Structure 1
Amino acid sequence: MNKHFLIFGLMLLLSSASAKSKTIRNIVPVANGVKITLPQGFTTAIIAENLGRPRHLTINPDGSIYVKLARVVDGKGILYLKDSNSDGTYEVIKGFGNYGGTGLYVKNGFLYASSNKEVFRYTLNEKNEVTDIDNPDKIITGLKMGRQHETKSIVIDNADNIYVNIGAYSNSCQQEDRKTGSLGIPGCPLLDSAGGIWQFKVNKLNQSYGEGIRYATGLRNVVGLDWNNITNSLFVMQHGRDQLNTLFPDLYDAKMNAELPAECLYELKKGDNAGWPFAYYDPFQKKNILAPEYGGDGKKPANGSFINPTVAFPAHLAPNGLLFYTGNQFPEKYRNGAFIAFHGSWNRTPEKQEGFYVAFVPFKNGRPSGEWEIFANGFSGSDSITSASQAVYRPCGLAQGPDGSLYITDDKKGTIFKITYNGK
């Protein structure tokens, strides 16, 4: 079994190296000794720094920015930024919202923001400014929050529905979480209120679980998600489970744990089940495998109507941002494709940690039309990261500007990067 994974691991490594060599051309120094590598014709710049821990963000038609902070800074969890003197650097104009969190979204004249338990709505004026920062509407309340995977990401469709991730407060639904040899709880009852995507109405106040719909289940944790207007469907990036080798050392070694399971991009329809915790997706065997907590041995296929991913990425990269690009600034190849911000791994030892980059998947007619590639790399500041704490920057949120530029948040140093294309 080890030989099997060694061979495929080498193939994956060669594939990744090939993607880097084919697509990355420009090297752009930014700050703190970091150089960002990008495809030819692209460049990047830091437009804001020292913001705290910015997570998701949104860009207004005038170029101003709203950004959600994981933790409040000076009592404020949402920042409004503008480049007041057009020098390329954004200043914080004001802050509001006395709660931390991740989710932020603008739609139909409202700014939506999430804490780890609730979702709020702020009315915007014709300049996309919040009219009343102190009295937002409370859309959803009482969301489940555990000691892990507590963040709530949000997105809105075109039929007045809002989708909220409720992360599972568990690694693999063991009877004793993260304990070696502990088996899975039969049926995993926490799936009733977590481990999936819930759908609520966007225009109804004070909704609770009972008023929402469990839209899709079997998703351990989703941070990056986006609505695809070509397919009129929800896409999400799942954080895959951890610790296969430490929990079941007789079945998995450290090398296998570093490469399993895949981080998966899923297209979700109502009622879909992605398999967690009963199954995980193996990118080498290219199928859902029965989890060891539920009788698996690393080879047994999972029984059940579990969906397959649209794209399977390497393990433990921590995808925190997903954006379908609809702008005109970037070349045609990027039109309607998916950008993914990978926050970076902590548990690929003895392999070096991976991620800390923005990837791209080309799409055509709502489906991937080619292999994924690394689009923007170098945020970590080193090619030999052995601990996530060593990374200089960690990509998190993604947003598209009115001119088609791509914005990336970093929640390590509190930075926002802007990527533009000039064709040179």
Structure 2
Amino acid sequence: MKNRSFNFVLAATVLAGSILFNACKSNESKTTADSTNTASDTTKSPSGLTLPAGFNAAIIAENLGGTRHIAVSPQGDIFIKLGKPKDGKGVLVLHENNGKADVKNSFGDYEGTGTYIKNGYLYTSSNEDVYRYKLNDKNEVIDATKPETIVKGLINRKQHEAKAIVLDDAGNLYVNIGAYSNSCQIKDREKGSLGQPGCPILDSAGGIWQFKADKLNQTYKDGVRYATGLRNVVGMDWNKQDNQLFVMQHGRDALHDIFPDMFDTKQSANLPAECMYAIKKGDNAGWPYIYYDQYQTKKILAPEYGGDGKKDGDPTNKYISPAAAYPAHLAPNGLLFYTGNQFPEKYKNGAFIAFHGSWNRAPEPQAGYYVVFQPFKDGKPDGKWEVFADGFSGSAANTAKGSAERRPCGLAQGPDGSIYVTDDSKGTIYKISYKK
């Protein structure tokens, strides 16, 4: 009996030491698994969102359609891209007055996601093209009937087709071209099907392409494949602290469904991590050959390419590591670096991430449907992320079932330092402000 007790204590001690060692050797933001980190002091706003104390979320517009990405002019006009046109129009212009925002203009008959204001132009994207509209000195569109086509003919296979966009300060445009596949199998999402050798999808998708922001009618041959090995990126922003592109990748699905002998349903629900990457020209994030396991805190060889859930996916270190990792399947659709002065100092230069919410964590409860905050220091994630705005789904039961009433998608910062959040389910626009 004494020996058994001694062995139990010894085993527990070794296990605790192992956990502590693994936690200490990794960045805290990378070791995050599926626990939800929420600010300790929160309040519920009249809009139904729960926020840290001192913050308030107001609903300034509703029932607009599938509102995707958003941009706000220095004068306070709000430009929104609809996923699908409503009443024949895919771009909305709202003007806010006395706490409400009314549609003052609409144009563009195309579906899509991207919206960005830069150097006197409004840039928008369809699922195949990128356009721009000239703005006047009040940042109003001069002629909505005559957009210039900046990029055309990007691949759209009706899977991960959203073309998110961002611009830098050096005259470059960056476009996500999502992979039209889950894991580059010979037969997509089919049980036991292996990966295509060399993954030909990566020639025209599965990465970030760079184009000139002011050159018309560019095609693939005019652009540069800036980064590859990214399954699908919808949330993108430019980090001005270190002058670098950051992106949020949607991780792969269906580990158990495709390889039930290697992964159980719980592993499939909780793997792989949704990853934030800091991107430089020429980077390769490793899709489809690897995925990032937030529990083992390492890159794992994908089962389609010979992995078993444990094999090291990057023994020669040719793929970049994530800057931070988050729970699986939460679908990060918006990324915003906060540069305003309205919020408390802890938020300055940190990142807000809009998690659209999961559909494929069963039999585990679904999760997400919130906006989180990731602290940054010197241009890098620093410390644990926390849920910043929750309650979009309507209730905890809605979240668990994946039946969210609203799903956050786009993020933008207003001229006064407030942030705006879109919902692409009911077309609700939230304005989040802070008051001491």
Please report the TM-score for the alignment, with normalisation by the length of structure 2.
Answer: 0.91
Q: 1:164 is paired with a residue of what secondary structure?
A: strand
Q: Distance in 2 between matches of 1:14 and 1:194?
A: 29
Change (3 A) 1:138 1:24: farther
2:69 to 47, 52, 56: 56
Give the letter for the 2:303 counterpart. Answer: P
Check 1:13–1:220 CA distance in 2 against 1; reply closer, same or farther (3 A cut).
Answer: closer
What per-residue deviation string (whole Å, max 9, x for no partner) do you get for residues 339-380 of structure 1? 000000000011111110000011111012221111111111
Once residues 12 and 150 of structure 1 are traced to their aligned partners in structure 2, the CA distance between those partners, rounded to angstroms, is 29
Match of 1:201 in 2: 212
Q: 1:76 aligns with which of 75, 89, 95?
A: 89
1:408 aligns with 2:421: yes
Q: Secondary structure at 1:255's aligned position in 2?
A: helix
Selected match of 1:151 from 151, 159, 162: 162
> CA RMSD for the aligned pairs?
1.5
1:140 alignment counterpart:
151
* SS of the residue 1:293 aligns to: helix
> How many Å apart are 1:12 and its aligned residue?
6.0
SS at 1:29 equivalent: coil
Corresponding position of 2:108: 97
> Which of 256, 272, 276 is the aligned partner of 1:261?
272
Deviation at 1:147, TM superposition (A): 2.0
Gapped regions of structure 2 (runs ≥ 5): 1-14, 23-30
Aligned match of 1:235 in 237, 242, 246?
246
Q: Is the 8 A contact 1:23 1:373 kept in 2?
A: no
How far apart in 1 are the matches of 2:175 and 2:33? 34
Pair 1:290 & 2:301 matched: yes
Name the residue aligned to 1:247.
258
Residue of structure 2 in register with 1:308 after alignment: 321
Q: Secondary structure at the match of 2:84?
A: strand
Distance (whole Å) between structure 1 residues aligned to residue 217 and residue 138 of structure 2: 27
Aligned residue type for 1:92: V
Aligned pairs, number: 406
For 1:412 and 1:65, the matched residues in 2 are separated by 19
Structure 2 partner of 1:43: 56
Distance in structure 2 (CA, Å) of the matches to 1:65 and 1:162 = 21
- List per-residue Cα deviations over 1:219-263 (Å, max 9, x = no partner): 000000001111101000000000000000000011001110000
1:393 is displaced (CA, Å) by: 0.7
Query: Which residue in 2 is equivalent to 1:28?
Result: 45
C-alpha separation between the residues in 1 aligned to 2:262 and 2:382? 36
Post-superposition offset of 1:60: 1.1
Change (3 A) 1:298 1:188: same
The CA distance in 2 between the partners of 1:297 and 1:131, in whole Å, is 57
Q: Deviations over 1:10-53 (max 9, x none)?
A: x967842xx22x444111132xxxx2111111011100011010
User: Alpha carbons of 1:87 and 1:167: their partners in 2 closer, same or farther (altered >3 Å)?
Assistant: same
User: Which digits, 9 at most, give the CA deviation of each residue in 1:93-144, with x for residues without a partner?
Assistant: 1100110100000000000000000000100001111001111110000001
Among 270, 280, 286, the alignment partner of 2:281 is: 270
Alignment of 1:123-202 (within 5 A): 123-202=134-213
* Amino acid corresponding to residue 404 of structure 1 in structure 2: G
Larger of the two Rg values belongs to structure: 2
Query: Distance between the aligned counterparts of 1:66 and 1:197, measured in 2?
Result: 24
What's the secondary structure of 1:176's corresponding residue? coil
Q: SS at 1:412's partner residue?
A: coil
CA–CA separation in structure 2 for the residues paired with 1:23 and 1:195: 39
Name the amino acid aligned to 2:282. Answer: G
The counterpart of 2:331, out of the listed 289, 309, 318, is: 318
1:109 to 95, 110, 120: 120
Q: Name the SS of the counterpart of 1:90 in structure 2.
A: strand
Q: What is the CA-CA distance between 1:387 and the residue it aligns to?
A: 3.9
What is the letter of the counterpart of residue 396 of structure 2? D
Contact 1:23 1:374 in 2 (8 A): no
SS in 2 for 1:339: strand
**Contact 2:235–2:247 (CA under 8 A) maintained in structure 1:** yes
CA contact (8 A) 1:72 1:99 kept: yes
Is the contact made by 2:69 and 2:80 (CA closer than 8 Å) also made in structure 1?
Answer: yes
2:420 maps to amino acid:
Y
Alpha-carbon contact 1:24-1:37 (below 8 Å) kept: no
8 Å Cα contact 1:195/1:217 also seen in 2 = yes
Following the alignment from structure 1 to structure 2, what is the Cα–Cα distance between the partners of residues 285 and 96? 48
